[in-house]
Every structure is written in C-alpha cells, then in structure tokens.
C-alpha cells in the first residue's frame, strides 16, 4: 500500500521493507494454497468446506492483518490539540460487584483528572459502601432499576440522567492519568469525530505467568493493528478508555446491547457516518486477567459476543461501510476463529499419528511442508511490525515480541473459542458475567478436560512412532511436539494456581486495598 499523493522517493525504508516482507508472505500464502488446490482434485464435501474456511480465515486474519500493518504508514502524527473550552464532559465508571479498593482506585484517578468534568460511578451492584465512597471523593453516584442489557443498559441509563457533550468511559480496573482529558478532548474540535479510543495497557503484567501472557496477547492488537486501522480511518471502539460524543450516541439510539457491546456500538457509529481517532498512549492502565479462570471467563464472553456480531451486525452494516472499515472489522471479528482452526489441526494431527494408512500420514506431512513457510512468514512479519510500531507498552524484549507466552495461552484456549463459535451457530445464549479482577484459582476441571485429553492422545500418538522415528518427518515431530508442549504448559499453570496456598490474592489489588483502608481511616 502506498499513500496517495506521494512520490516513490517519499516512501520510507521501513515501508519498503514491509512491502517486501508482505510480498514474500504472499508467495508463502500462495504456496500453502497449492496443497489445497491439489487436494480438491479428489471431490469431497468435507474437504471443500475446510477449504472455504481456510480461505476465509487466511483472507481476514493473515492478509487482513498484513494490510493493517502496512496501513500504519498511512497514519499521521497525533499532535496535542487545544481542548475546546465549550465542551462539557461526563466521566462514567461502570461497576458491578467489584472490590471497593478497585473501584476507589479508578474513581479517585478519574476525579483527579485535570480539566472541567463530572465523574459518575455507575453502580449496578447497588453497594452502599460505594455510594459513600463516591460522595467522599466528590463523584456522583447513579443506579438504575434492574440490570437489563448489562454494561450497555447501565451506560444508557446514565446517559438519560446526565447532559455532558462528551462521555468518557472507563472500566473499573482502569485508572486514568491526570492528563487524560488534556491529551484527548482536543480531537473533538472536529465535528465529525464521533469517538476517540485510547490505547489499553496493563500494569499487572508481572503478576504471574497468566497475567504476563494475557497482557502480551494484546500487544499486536493495541499496537500495529489498531494503529493501522487508524491509518485507514477505521479505529474500532474498545470500550474502556473511550471518549464518545453524546450526539453520536444519540444518533444510533444509545450504546448497543450485547456481550460485545463496545464493538456493536463501534460498527453502528461508523455506519452512521461518524469518524474515529486512535491514540496509542498509556493514559489509563488497567489489569489483565490474573489467572486462567478469569482469562477463560473473559475470552468466552468476548468470543461469543464478537461471533454473534460477525453473523448479524457485520452483514447488516456491510453496504454502509467503506472498504477499509470492512477490512478492519473483518480482522477483529474473525480473530477468535483461531480456536476452530487449532481444533481442526489437532484433529488432523491425531488422525495422522494414529492412522495405519501411510497415505494419510504422508498427505498430512505434505500439508505441513506447505504450511511451514507461511507460518515462518507470519512470525517474521509480526515480529518486525511489533518492533516498528510498539508504542508505550512495557519494556520491549525479544521474548515478548515473539509472543511465545501469549501464543501458548491462546493456543490452549482453543476449547473456549470453539465452544463460543458453536454456541453462536446453535443460537445458545450466554449470561453476562464481568471478568474477575482477582486470582481465585477456582476453575472447574471440566474446562481443562479437553486440554488434558488432547495432551494424553498426542503423547500416545508420538510414542507409537518412537521405535521408528523415521516414520515421521522432522516437521511432524516438531508440529506435534509443539502442540503437546503448549497444552502441558497451560495445564501446569492451572495446577500451580489451583493448589498454591501461599500466593497473594492479587499483588496490585492488595496494594489498592491498603490504600483504601488508609483512606477510610483518614476520613473517620
């Protein structure tokens, strides 16, 4: 992609490098599909369905992401714009049963932001302790009748009771810096800007393996992917750390309900003609899921909600969106297809390992030979994109850029993503549940049963070939071994968290509890 209106000499060396690598990646992508085209010579309905799925996934998650990586070069600088004096601002912090310490951390930070604004605590838990806290800190306190539509309903009820021209939304685990409004409100000088989305960062990335992996799993999305989306004027709303023009929300009849209410609102705003801005700065750090139970809860809710939008809102708004927005939303809405993709590759691996038909094993090993160049190209392109466009996150390192921990975590979450896809296809509802903010270690063994079963089957399958190692290619040993390693490592983390007795409940939250206790003592 070349920015319009520039000469060849104005294209930077970084862009040339990106274009070259993506061109190599396209060749690898084509080589991978050579296997599919050869296989389709033997008619098979199931093989045809798998080919369609592979094509859809490859076009959105591989080619789509590469397009967004290149689009990062289209994005201009984000200068600080003077805040319009006439803007009135309401700050909403949504809560529903979270720890008072966590709420106070966010509420105090919001009240302390510089600039004229009114902070409101939107308490769906109707906790009298939080009402007293809000009054003490100088914030408003709002409740509503019932809990219909979860977060979206909470926000819409607050919108009906307030009047600020700009609405700023924070999830309860995100605490804004004092200059948050100064760095963001200036973009609303432009009347067509409907919302400004500020980068999400996580300050608990050192609180254990899961927290580190969960925080790193978002590096790609919140850095090159979101920056590239902004480069083609297609920033998507994430929810927390967001500023939205009230008139924009009113034009779409308020925040859209659902498990992925933020994404639903985003696509409605863009389809209504509103523009957006992405600001990649760490202005409101939050908490990543601290353990596997919290991670699975979050990912099931998100995947189920996003998949539903993929099948409903995306087709409905497709004609109203520009081509660039179609690409950006397709990339975001098909991300969780990674679960079914992993599941299908696991099935194929096990079938090849246990099959007595040498042709089956040979065919799958041939598939891996065509897949390997594409996998290598994907890793190299993502690594260089993170090195080039990683902004204001925790200290960059080779390990975090290679995404080893998050790859293992996401890989081991395939049953959750696959379940979410099946639930959408079967139209099975999922009750809204906030992501746990503290470590509990209490995950039902049933949630890890698929990983345990697959690990045992992979181990047995590999042991079948130990006596004759040459029966498997080097790629087959490596592919099956990597799958086994990823599953075992996640199982070990689950067991460690489940049986550890002396771990802190949540180090950062424990500190917040101390601050909360001191504040209460000082006010008495």
In a domain, 220, yes or no: yes
In a domain, 118, yes or no: no
Would you call 235 exposed, middle or buried from its count of C-beta atoms within 10 A (0-12, 13-18, 19+)? buried
Q: What angle do CA 161, 166, 172 make, to 5 degrees?
A: 75
Alpha carbon of residue 70 to chain centroid: 20
In a domain, 395, yes or no: yes
Q: What pLDDT does residue 2 have?
A: 38
In a domain, 105, yes or no: no
Token pair recorded at residue 240: 């927390």
In a domain, 278, yes or no: yes
Q: Is the dihedral of CA 202, 208, 211, 216 positive or negative?
A: positive
In order along its 524 residues, the chain shows pLDDT tens digits of 334 444 555 667 878 888 999 999 999 999 999 999 998 887 788 888 999 999 999 999 999 999 999 998 887 766 668 888 889 999 999 998 889 999 999 999 999 999 999 999 999 989 999 999 999 999 999 999 988 999 999 999 999 999 999 999 999 999 999 999 999 999 999 999 999 999 999 998 778 899 999 999 999 999 999 999 999 999 999 989 999 999 999 999 999 999 999 999 999 999 999 999 999 999 999 999 989 999 999 999 999 999 999 999 999 999 999 999 999 999 999 999 999 999 999 999 999 999 999 999 999 999 999 999 999 999 999 988 988 887 655 545 555 556 889 999 999 999 999 999 999 999 999 887 776 666 665 678 899 999 999 999 999 999 999 999 999 999 999 999 999 999 999 999 998 887 765 454 444 454 444 444 444 444 44
Alpha carbon of residue 523 to chain centroid: 39
In a domain, 481, yes or no: yes
Domain residues for 56?
12-74+190-516
Under 8 Å CB-to-CB from 522, ≥6 apart: which residues? none
Q: What pLDDT does residue 387 have?
A: 85
In a domain, 79, yes or no: no
Question: What is each CA distance from 309 to 304, 313, 330, in whole angstroms?
Answer: 9, 5, 10
Q: What pLDDT does residue 522 have?
A: 44
Structural domains of the chain, count: 1
**C-alpha–C-alpha distance, residues 154 and 146, integer Å:** 9
How are the residues of the chain apportioned to helix, strand and coil, as percentages rounded to the nearest 5? Answer: 60, 5, 30
Q: What pLDDT does residue 40 have?
A: 86
In a domain, 205, yes or no: yes
């Amino acid at each position: 992609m070349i920015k319009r209106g520039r000469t060849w000499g104005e294209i930077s060396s970084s862009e040339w490098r990106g274009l070259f690598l993506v061109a190599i990646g396209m060749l690898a992508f084509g080589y991978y599909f050579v296997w599919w085209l050869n296989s389709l010579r033997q008619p098979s309905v199931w093989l045809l369905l798998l080919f369609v799925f592979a094509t859809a996934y490859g076009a959105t998650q591989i080619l789509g992401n590469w397009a967004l990586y290149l689009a990062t070069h289209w994005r201009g600088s984000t200068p600080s714009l003077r805040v319009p004096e006439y803007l009135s601002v309401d700050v909403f912090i949504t809560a529903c049963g979270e720890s008072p310490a966590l709420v106070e951390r966010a509420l105090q930070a919001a009240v302390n932001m510089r600039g004229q604004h009114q902070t409101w605590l939107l308490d769906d838990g109707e906790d009298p302790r939080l009402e007293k806290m809000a009054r003490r800190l100088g914030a408003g306190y709002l409740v509503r009748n019932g809990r219909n539509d979860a977060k979206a309903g909470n926000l819409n009820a607050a919108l009906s009771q307030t009047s600020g021209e700009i609405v700023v939304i924070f999830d309860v685990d995100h605490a804004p810096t004092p200059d948050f409004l100064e760095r963001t409100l200036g973009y609303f000088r432009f009347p067509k800007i409907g919302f400004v989305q500020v980068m999400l960062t996580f300050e608990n990335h050192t609180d254990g393996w899961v927290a580190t992996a969960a925080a790193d799993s978002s590096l790609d999305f919140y850095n090159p992917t979101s920056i590239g989306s902004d480069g083609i004027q297609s920033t998507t709303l994430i929810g927390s750390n967001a500023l939205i023009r009230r008139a924009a929300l009113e034009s779409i009849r308020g925040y859209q309900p659902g498990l992925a209410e933020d994404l639903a609102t985003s696509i409605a705003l863009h389809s209504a003609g509103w523009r957006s801005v992405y600001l990649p700065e760490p202005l409101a750090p939050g908490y990543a899921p601290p353990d596997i139970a919290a991670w699975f809860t979050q990912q099931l809710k998100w995947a189920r909600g996003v998949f539903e939008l993929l099948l409903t809102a995306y087709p409905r708004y497709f004609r109203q969106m520009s081509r660039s927005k179609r690409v950006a939303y397709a990339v975001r809405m098909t991300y969780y297809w990674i679960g079914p993709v992993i599941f299908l590759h696991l099935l194929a691996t096990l079938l090849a390992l246990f099959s007595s038909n040498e042709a089956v094993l040979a065919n799958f090993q041939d598939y891996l030979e065509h897949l390997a160049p594409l996998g290598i190209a994907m890793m190299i392109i993502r690594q260089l994109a993170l090195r080039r466009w990683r902004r204001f996150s925790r200290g960059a390192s080779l390990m975090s850029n290679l995404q080893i921990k998050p790859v293992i975590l996401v890989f081991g979450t395939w049953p959750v993503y696959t379940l979410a896809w099946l639930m959408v296809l079967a139209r099975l509802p999922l009750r809204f549940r906030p992501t746990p903010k503290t470590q509990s270690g209490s995950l039902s063994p049933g949630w890890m049963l698929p990983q345990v079963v697959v690990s045992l089957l992979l181990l047995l399958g590999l042991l079948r070939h130990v006596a004759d190692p040459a029966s498997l290619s080097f790629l087959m040993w490596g592919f099956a071994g990597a799958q086994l390693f990823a599953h075992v490592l996640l199982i070990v983390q689950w067991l460690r968290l489940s049986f550890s007795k002396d771990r802190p409940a949540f180090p950062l939250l424990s500190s917040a509890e101390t601050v909360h206790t001191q504040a209460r003592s000082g006010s008495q």
